[in-house]
Amino acid sequence: MKKMKQNIFENTQVAFQLKSNFELRRAYWLFRLIQNRSLVNVGKRLAHWALKMRLPVEGLIRATVFNQFCSGISAVASQPIVSRLGQAQIVSVLAYSVEGTASEAGFEDSLEKTLATMAAQKGNPNHPYSVFKPTAIGAFSLFEKVAQQEELTPEEKGAWDRVCQRFDRLCQQAVDWQMQLFVDAEESWIQPAIDALVEKAMKRHNSQQPWIITTVQMYRHDRLDYLKYLIEKAHQQNFYLGVKLVRGAYIEKENERAQQLGYPSPMCADKAATDANFDAGVALLVAHLQRVKLFMGSHNEDSILKLLALMQAKKLPNNHPHIWFGQLYGMSDHLSFNLADRGYNVAKYVPFGPIRDVFPYLIRRAEENTSVAGQSLRELELISKELNRRAATRDVAA
Ligand SMILES: Cc1cc2nc3c(=O)[nH]c(=O)nc-3n(C[C@H](O)[C@H](O)[C@H](O)COP(=O)(O)OP(=O)(O)OC[C@H]3O[C@@H](n4cnc5c(N)ncnc54)[C@H](O)[C@@H]3O)c2cc1C
C-alpha cells in the first residue's frame, strides 16, 4: 500500500504541472498562513469589515485566497482554468458558490443562476456535471418542517410546491442537456426532505443513465444502511443509482445540535469510525457497479488508495465509467492530477462568483485547511518538494 502511495501521489511534477513557480510560491505562503488559526480568525474579521465598508480590498483577496480556490468571477471568466484542467484530463464541475438571500426572489435568482451555469457548460466535454445545493432553492426552515413531517400551513404548502417545481426543473434541464446533476447533501435534520426529492428524481430520470446523482455523507452512522436501501430500490425499480460519496461537512453543527436538544448524535463515534464507514460504503457500491455509479468526493489518500486497490483486485479498468474521483479546486492537486495521469476519471469542483459574494466560501476553505489535521502540512510538504525539484533540475515554470 505504502509503495503504491509513493508511486502515485508523490509525483509532484505531474501534480503541479499547471502551476508556475509564482503560483506555487503563492500557494505555499497561503497554506502557511492559513495554518495559523488566530490569523485566519483575525483576517476573516478584518476582510468582512473592509468589504462592508467598501474598502478596496478585493484586489488583495483576489491575489491570495480567491485565485487559489476559485476559477473566476463568472462561468465565462473561468474557462481558461477549465481548459487547462481539461488538457490534464480533468473535468470541471462549475459551482456558483454564492449564498443567495433566503427569500422567494433569492431562490428564483439561485435557480436562474444555476440554469445559466448549466447552459454555459452544456455540450462541453470538460463539463459533464452540474451541481446545486437544495437550500439555494428553498428555505431551510421549510426543508426542516418537511423532513420532520410537520404539518404545513397553506402558505408553506405553496412555498414547498415551488421548491419541488424548481427541483424538477433543474433535474429535467440536466437530462435535456445530457448533463449529470449532483444534488449536494446538507444537515441531517433537513436531509430526509432532500433524500425524498432525489430518490423520486432518480427513479424518474435514471432509467438509462445515472443523470441525477445523490450525495451520501458517511460521517452519519446510519448511512451504510441507507446505501443498502438505495441499492435495493435501484434494483427493484430499475433505475441507475448515482452516488456522490463524501464524509460530510457539518460535523460541528451536527454535534452541537444533538447536544443542545439532547438526542444521540447521528455522527460516527470518531474519525476512525467515519473512515471505516466511508470505506465500507465504497466497497458496497463497487460490488453493484452494474446498477451504481460512484463519485468519490474526498481528499483522503487512504480511502482513494483503498478504492484503487479494490479496482485492481476486481480487474476494473482505471477509466471505468461508473467510478469517478472528485476534489475541490485549489486543494489536493497531487491526488487529482496523478489520478488523471493514470487514466482514472477525475473531476474538480470549481467554485466561481464575484469576489465579494464568494467570500464566505473562501473563509470556509481557509478554516477547513486550518482544522483538517495535516491537510495544509501535506500541501506544504508537496509544494516545497516541487519547488526544490524545479530548482535542482532548472525546470522552467509551467
Ligand atoms: C467533490 C466534493 C464534493 C463534496 N460535496 C459535499 C456535500 O454535498 N455535502 C457535504 O456535507 N460535504 C461535501 N463535501 C465535503 C466532504 O464531506 C468533507 O467535508 C471533506 O471532503 C473532507 O473529508 P475527506 O473525505 O476529504 O477526508 P478527511 O480529511 O480524511 O476527513 C475529514 C472528515 O472526516 C469527518 N470527521 C472528522 N473528525 C471526525 C470525528 N471526530 N468523528 C467523526 N467524523 C469525523 C468529517 O466528515 C470531516 O469533514 C464534498 C467534498 C468534495 C471533495
Q: What is the CATH number of the domain that holds 108?
A: 3.20.20.220
Distance CA 180, CA 210 (A): 7
- Within-domain flag for 323: no
Residue nearest to atom 5 of ligand 1 (CA): 184
Position 255 in a domain = yes
Number of structural domains, the chain? 1
Over residues 31-57, the pLDDT tens digits come to: 888 777 776 777 777 777 777 777 777
Query: Which of the four pLDDT bands, split at 50, 70 and 90, describes residue 100?
Result: low
Asked, for residue 125, whether it belongs to a domain, the answer is: yes
Q: Which long-range contacts (CB under 8 A, 24 or more apart) does 302-311 make?
A: 302/275, 303/275, 303/278, 303/279, 304/335, 304/339, 305/1, 305/4, 305/5, 305/8, 306/279, 306/282, 307/282, 308/4, 308/8, 308/344, 309/1, 309/4, 310/282, 310/283, 310/286, 311/286
**Ligand 1 shell residues, CB under 6 Å:** 184-185, 215, 217, 219, 246-251, 267-268, 270-271, 274, 297-300, 326-328, 349, 372
d(CA 7, CA 208): 37
Report residue 377 as a C-alpha cell. Answer: 502540512
Q: Closest residue (by CA) to atom 25 of ligand 1?
A: 298
Task: Please give the Cα distance from 349 to 326 (Å, whole number).
Answer: 7
Contacts of 114-119 with CB under 8 Å at 24 or more apart are: 114/170, 115/169, 115/170, 115/173, 116/75, 117/75, 118/170, 118/173, 118/174, 118/177, 118/179, 119/177
Query: Does a structural domain hold residue 123?
Result: yes
| Structural domain boundaries enclosing 196 | 101-297
158 assigned to some structural domain: yes
**Residue 274 CA, ligand 1 centroid: distance in Å:** 9
Domain-embedded: residue 37: no
Q: How far is the CA of 156 from the centre of ligand 1 (A)?
A: 32
- Would 235 be classed as within a structural domain? yes
Instruction: Give residue 66's pLDDT band: very low, low, confident or very high (50, 70, 90).
Output: confident
**116 CA from centroid of ligand 1 (Å):** 28
Tell me the pLDDT of the chain averaged across its residues: 91
Domain membership of residue 244 (yes or no) is: yes
pLDDT of 371 over the 70 cut: no
Instruction: Report the nearest atom of ligand 1 relative to the CA of 215.
Output: 8
345-352 β-sheet, strand order? 90-96, 345-352, 323-328, 292-297, 241-246, 212-217, 180-183, 129-132
Q: Which of 218, 247, 328 to mutate to test the pocket of ligand 1 (most atoms within 8 A of CB)?
A: 247
